Structure 1
Amino acid sequence: MAIKAVVFDFGGVLIDWSPEYVYSRLIPDATERRWFLDNVCKMEWVVQQDGGQTIVEGTAELVAKFPEHEALIRAFYERWQEMLGGVLEDGVALVDALEAAGVPLFGLTNWSAETFPYAWERYPVLQRFREVIVSGRVGVVKPDPAIFTLMRAEIERHLPGIAPHELVFIDDNARNAQAATALGWHGVHHTDAAHTEAQLRALGLAV
């Protein structure tokens, strides 16, 4: 068995992103902040924008549902750039090692089409992949099998005839990694770089 390509998720693997960076200042009380992020600006809502809904629509929808939290809701995307903590150097080191070994690299990320350009312009590591699929641009999000089908189609343009078992997918979300595994890929749940590196080595990759 030989791995012929590796697909990277971005947030949590290569880029540090957390709403806590903004809301720890807006809602100092940890319990109140956790309630707000679990019940108002929750990840299910963020994923709607990652899936193609516009920020204007998503914000209006949530403000209508929680008018008493309007200012805090609007802050989510108005201050979204402050949620980026920079690159995760240990993740970038994995890209460096695989690239040095000549392994074709691709990107597959759940990200709003409206906010992704900001990161693309500021973090050069994102531009090192042969192809990148952004969920907000294609209108489907992980773990939907459809987005993996789209990714595989892009990979096949570079590597005709590649089989699922020749692909590795690295994601910090276990559900997304499991979805790739269910499709015959090697899904790697990224909890830290050392653990991911060990799994890549077990698959025969030089990292």
Structure 2
Amino acid sequence: MAIEHIVFDIGRVLVHWDHHAAYLDALPDEADRKRFFEEVDFPGWNLQQDAGRSWAEGEEVLAAQFPHREELIRLFRQNWHLTVPHAIGESVAIMRSLIARGYDVTLLTNWSADTYPIAQERYDFLAEPRGVTVSGQIRMVKPDPAIYAHHQKVFGLDPERTVFIDDSARNVEAAREAGWKAILFREPEELRRDLRKLGVTVD
């Protein structure tokens, strides 16, 4: 069946994201940054904000667990703007090409409700697709099957005619389990090739 709906992830697909950037001044040594992230389970902690916990609560919880790291913990939100420094221009061009060709394009992202409005202000192309599901706003996160079901229902997607693009293998596999086709994003030119293999016309 021909693809009609194309769902993009945002971070590391349309917008560059690097959590290390928040700590380049405070922890200039990469090994020190990695030790800090591992000590506080940064990915797990950050995911809770993506799942709907406020940044204020998240900081309080982690600072109570690691009081000797409180300054660094609070630094992430202060420097969050540094973690999304630029768009991935070729990916944005692909997205715009698909919209121009009449494909139904939407966004599905793990992103905190507190910081997504900042991204919207900085990157106006996020308003160009038909709509977006932001995990922090609905309190669900990829790869939970519920968030795919939610997005499918809200936007009226036909799963057999839907392709999902994400940089996370877990999220891609979850989309496939939901009945969608899915592409693991690595770089824009490869994305073009993968879309064409699915019969999607892209510049």
TM-score scaled by structure 2?
0.96
What is the CA distance between 1:136 and its match in structure 2?
0.4
**1:140-175 Cα deviation digits (max 9, x unpaired):** 00000100011001221xxxxx43111000011111
Please give the alpha-carbon distance, in whole angstroms, between the structure 2 residues aligned to 1:120 and 1:82.
Answer: 15
Please give the alpha-carbon distance, in whole angstroms, between the structure 2 residues aligned to 1:20 and 1:101.
Answer: 37
Which residue is 1:102 aligned to?
Answer: 102
**1:43-79 Cα deviation digits (max 9, x unpaired):** 1111100000111110011101111111000001121
Identical pairs, percent: 40
1:39-58 equivalences in 2 (<5 Å): 39-40=39-40, 42-58=42-58
1:176 pairs with one of 157, 165, 171: 171
Count of aligned positions: 202
- 5+ long unaligned stretches in structure 1: 157-161
1:18-167 equivalences in 2 (<5 Å): 18-40=18-40, 42-156=42-156, 162-167=157-162
Please give the alpha-carbon distance, in whole angstroms, between the structure 2 residues aligned to 1:41 and 1:193.
Answer: 30
Please give the alpha-carbon distance, in whole angstroms, between the structure 1 residues aligned to 2:56 and 2:85.
Answer: 24
8 Å Cα contact 1:51/1:139 also seen in 2: yes
1:202 matched to 2:203? The reply is no
8 Å Cα contact 1:131/1:154 also seen in 2: no
Please give the alpha-carbon distance, in whole angstroms, between the structure 2 residues aligned to 1:32 and 1:178.
Answer: 32
8 Å Cα contact 1:94/1:197 also seen in 2: yes
Please give the alpha-carbon distance, in whole angstroms, between the structure 1 residues aligned to 2:6 and 2:105.
Answer: 5
Q: 1:18 to 1:41 in 2, by over 3 A?
A: farther
Please give the alpha-carbon distance, in whole angstroms, between the structure 1 residues aligned to 2:63 and 2:34.
Answer: 18
8 Å Cα contact 1:50/1:136 also seen in 2: yes
**1:118-156 Cα deviation digits (max 9, x unpaired):** 011110110011110100000000000100011001221
TM-score scaled by structure 1?
0.94
Please give the alpha-carbon distance, in whole angstroms, between the structure 1 residues aligned to 2:73 and 2:171.
Answer: 27
Which residue is 2:4 aligned to?
Answer: 4
Partner of 2:85: helix, strand, or coil? strand
What is the CA distance between 1:100 and its match in structure 2?
2.1
Please give the alpha-carbon distance, in whole angstroms, between the structure 2 residues aligned to 1:65 and 1:56.
Answer: 15
Please give the alpha-carbon distance, in whole angstroms, between the structure 2 residues aligned to 1:189 and 1:93.
Answer: 18
AA at the equivalent of 1:188: I
8 Å Cα contact 2:48/2:58 also seen in 1: yes
Partner of 2:86: helix, strand, or coil? strand
- 5+ long unaligned stretches in structure 2: none
Please give the alpha-carbon distance, in whole angstroms, between the structure 2 residues aligned to 1:14 and 1:37.
Answer: 24
